Amino acid sequence: MLRSGNKFDIVFDTPGKLSFRAAKAILKPGYRILDLNATPLQMLTSIFSPAHQTIVTTVTKSDRETLADLASAGNIKASIGAEVSLNGLIDRLKAMEEGERTT
């Protein structure tokens, strides 16, 4: 989990493994948690919490291009949860799929 003490405007939980409590702990007041792969509990939480929003969508080529343009222009700052070597990538992905959180 995040240990830097930083607070963020948006927590974009793409693997859907971050608990609501953990995400809320690193959010600035009044900001948002976005889940792409929300669990049923996260979906239920999003009904009752204005901070938690579940997104059900299909990402298009145009979406990816817009995201790439924003990143290239320096308009997106990503927080890296973990770095792994190419040799360790498969094991890391399996661990994330099984619910292991990055440290």
In the chain, domain spans: 8-97
Residues 6+ apart with CB under 8 A from 19: none
Six-digit token string for 78:
């990503």
Q: Please calculate the CA angle 18-27-48 and round it to the nearest 5 degrees.
A: 70
**Which pLDDT value is given to residue 2?**
46
Residue type, 27: L
pLDDT tens digits for range 46-77: 788 776 666 666 677 888 889 889 888 988 87
14 contacts 36 by C-beta, under 8 angstroms: yes
pLDDT tens digits for range 1-57: 445 567 888 777 777 677 778 877 888 877 777 776 677 777 787 788 776 666 666
